[in-house]
Amino acid sequence: MIKPSIRRVGRALLAVGATAALSLGLLTATAGTSQAATQGPCDLYRAGGTPCVAAHSTTRALYGAYSGPLYQVRRASDNATRNIGLLSTGGYADAAAQDSFCAGTGCVITVLYDQSGRGNHLTQAPAGGAAGGPDNLANAFEAPVTVGGHKAYGVYVAPGTGYRNNNTNGIATGDQPEGMYAIFDGTHFNGGCCFDYGNAETNNLDTGNGHMEALYFGDNRSWGSGSGNGPWVMADLENGLFSGVNRGPNANDPSVNNRFLTAMLKGGPNQWALRGGDARSGGLSTFYSGARPNATGYNPMHKEGAIILGIGGDNSKWAQGTFYEGVMTQGYPSDATENAVQANITAAGYTSGSTGTGTLTPGSRISLRATTAPCCTSHYLRHDDADTKVVISDTNSSSSATDKADATWIVRAGLADSSCVSFESANNPGRFLHHYNYELYLDFDNGAGSFAQDSTFCPTGGNSGTGTSFQSVNFPTKYLRHYNYTAYIASNGGSNSWDSSASWAADTSWLVAQPWG
Ligand code: AHR
């Protein structure tokens, strides 16, 4: 846990150093802070007079002097939990601790700790007005990343996943000013409501216009939109995602899809602003800065001070996205402070995780072609629209767009082991290929104990000497196989009909092909 006395001393020193650093345009190295050689975003906000009152990250410390835990994981095998901390004070996450604790079983993220010392931790969101609960917890392996050369994991929000804190300390209420930023994966989004991070209702209900002030990311067009086809950074102010002064389109809010995206929002009495940029380089652009919406309820605001991640204020939980870090401040940060924070973010060094296995790189789209001749070499693994089963079927350039999309998969880091892979449906986001009773199905990651393992496959050389075979992580003698045009995990000889040794090697060998969809 955070060490308050050290934190106070460190912060005092950092505040002095950070002020100097800001005025000199320097963003690292604070003289006299031996335990905090670098500054975090919250040191910069503090120096700017708008301190963080919540600071969440699974990848790094957000204060130069922070030495406590970043997040907690719970493993499937025995429900034991473990805090994941830092490699060093003010440094990066100790991802190896997660890897060893969760090895071979899979973990979910149970707590995102607040580094500000105010206890504004995020935990599993409860049911709300729009949807039941509790919401799912994020799979701890699903968003691997490298930060500053160190392996870390983000928070992968599949539809149905959500975190919340309704009993906060220091978060803005009413019309009080606040700021916030988050780093998202700009390539992971959808149009569902609402992938949010920020201020929301304390009772999980939609209590009316102006009762929220949260960052939104995605391509939902129900209330507002920006230029192009999205996704956009918008402000969820309740009963509306705002891209500009009022509901509707705002041409100045651009489509942004940087792999690592900085999104910023701030709001005070009759003013608010949206800003964003590439979290890997460059500065921030201002998408909107001006007056509050003129519809009833937004001026003055009625902020309630809860914190949400991945969901809307009323627990609308149909959105998806990935979160790496974010903070909320007391007071309306200046543009200069936010620019300094952006410089700190770009200096942190976010790059994609390096868990790729050949062409099976997380994030890439592929199709999987069967290799068994003569029946099946033009057949591809696909989900079956008639039910949730997974089959192979002939797919070619004349196939319908739906058939092609059904035969297309997005490679994800293995849900139970990031050195292996999982397959997410390209046209059913959030649904994964997984086995149940040794048959393969497409279903949502419900965060349940066995789902992660049942959805994780370790690529090996093709059992026939051709292509790639996919070994089930929890049944290592069984491989992804087609049998009678239906998909299973199968051993070479066994009690099930699909374990037949005839054609086993070919049936379990696949060619990783260009995506159909
Ligand atoms: O403002 C958009 C959404 O509308 C909010 O997140 C949710 O509470 C309501 O359904």
pLDDT in tens, 25-58: 333 323 233 334 589 999 999 999 999 999 999 9
Residue 306 CA to ligand 1 center (angstroms) comes to 14
Q: What percent of the chain has pLDDT over 70?
A: 90
pLDDT averaged over every residue in the chain: 89
Residue 490 CA to ligand 1 center (angstroms) comes to 45
Bridge partners (DSSP) listed for residue 144: 153
Q: Which atom of ligand 1 is nearest to the CA of 237?
A: 1
Cα–Cα distance for residue pair 408/358, rounded to 1 Å:
18
Q: Which atom of ligand 1 is nearest to the CA of 238?
A: 1
For residue 58, the SS3 value is coil
Are 121 and 165 a contacting pair, CB within 8 Å?
yes
Ligand 1 touching residue 312 (CB < 6 A): yes
Q: Does residue 19 register a pLDDT over 90?
A: no
Residue 311 CA to ligand 1 center (angstroms) comes to 9
What is the predicted pLDDT for the residue at 104? 64
Residue 183 CA to ligand 1 center (angstroms) comes to 21
Cα–Cα distance for residue pair 186/259, rounded to 1 Å:
5
Q: Which atom of ligand 1 is nearest to the CA of 240?
A: 1
Ligand 1 touching residue 214 (CB < 6 A): no
The single-letter DSSP state of residue 202 is S
Confidence at 467, pLDDT banded by 50, 70, 90: confident
Q: Does residue 89 register a pLDDT over 90?
A: yes
Q: Could you tell me if residue 381 is left (phi over 0), alpha (psi between -120 and 50 degrees) or otherwise beta?
A: beta
Bridge partners (DSSP) listed for residue 203: none
Q: Rounded mean pLDDT of 439-443?
A: 95
Residue 450 CA to ligand 1 center (angstroms) comes to 32
Ligand 1 touching residue 240 (CB < 6 A): yes
Peptide bond before residue 42 is cis, with ω within 30 degrees of 0: no
* Residues belonging to the active site: 238, 314
Ligand 1 touching residue 313 (CB < 6 A): yes
In terms of Cα–Cα distance, which of 429, 411, 433 is closest to 420?
Answer: 411
Tell me the pTM. Answer: 0.73
Ligand 1 touching residue 193 (CB < 6 A): yes
Q: Which atom of ligand 1 is nearest to the CA of 130?
A: 10
